[in-house]
Amino acid sequence: MNKQIFLRIAKYVSICLLTVFIAAVVLGGGLFLYYVSKAPALSESKLVATTSSKIYDKNDELIADLGSERRVNAQANEIPTELVNAIVSIEDHRFFNHRGVDTIRILGATLRNLRGGGGLQGASTLTQQLIKLTYFSTSTADQTLSRKAQEAWLAVQLEQKATKQEILTYYINKVYMSNGNYGMQTAAQNYYGKDLKDLSIPQLALLAGMPQAPNQYDPYSHPEAAQERRNLVLSEMKGQGYITAEQYEKAINTPITDGLQSLKSANTYPPQMDNYLKEVIDQVEQETGYNLLTTGMEVYTNVDPKVQQHLWDIYNTDEYVNYPDDEMQVASTIVDVTNGKVIAQLGSRHQSSNVSFGINQAVETNRDWGSTMKPITDYAPALEYDIYDSTASIVHDVPYNYPGTDTPLYNWDRSYFGNITIQYALQQSRNVTAVETLNKVGLDRAKTFLNGIGIDYPDMHYANAISSNTTESNKKYGASSEKMAAAYAAFANGGIYHKPMYINKIVFSDGSSKEYADPGTRAMKETTAYMMTEMMKTVLAYGTGRGAYLPWLPQAGKTGTSNYTDDEIENYIKNTGYVAPDEMFVGYTRKYSMAVWTGYSNRLTPIVGDGFYVAAKVYRSMMTYLSEDNNPGDWTMPEGLYRGGEFVFKNGARSAWTAPAPQQAPTPESSSSTSESSTTDNSSSDNSSSDNSSSQSSSTPSTSTSEQNTQQPNPRTDVQNQSPQVQPRRR
So which residues are the catalytic ones? Answer: 91, 371
Nearest to 373 by CA among 467, 490, 450, 471: 467
Beta bridge partners of 335: 342, 593
**For residues 586 and 331, what is the distance between their CA atoms, to the nearest angstrom?**
12
N- to C-terminal Cα distance for the chain?
72
Q: At what angle do helices 526-541 and 481-492 cross, to 10 degrees?
A: 110
**For residues 601 and 473, what is the distance between their CA atoms, to the nearest angstrom?**
17
Instruction: Say which amino acid occupies 291.
Output: N
**For residues 360 and 630, what is the distance between their CA atoms, to the nearest angstrom?**
30
Nearest to 594 by CA among 562, 621, 563, 632: 621
No. of H helices and E strands in the chain?
A: 24, 20
Strand (E) or helix (H) holding 191: helix 184-192
The answer to whether the beta carbons of residues 352 and 360 sit under 8 Å apart is no
* CA separation, residue 702 to residues 423, 495, 590 (Å): 11, 27, 26
Residue 71 burial class via C-beta count within 10 angstroms: exposed 0-12, middle 13-18, buried 19 and up: middle
**Longest pairwise C-alpha distance within the chain:** 110
The answer to whether the beta carbons of residues 203 and 86 sit under 8 Å apart is no
The answer to whether the beta carbons of residues 218 and 355 sit under 8 Å apart is yes
Nearest to 560 by CA among 488, 490, 498: 488
The DSSP bridge pattern shows strands 582-588 and 592-599 to be antiparallel
Would you give the DSSP letter of residue 200? -
The DSSP bridge pattern shows strands 70-71 and 181-182 to be parallel
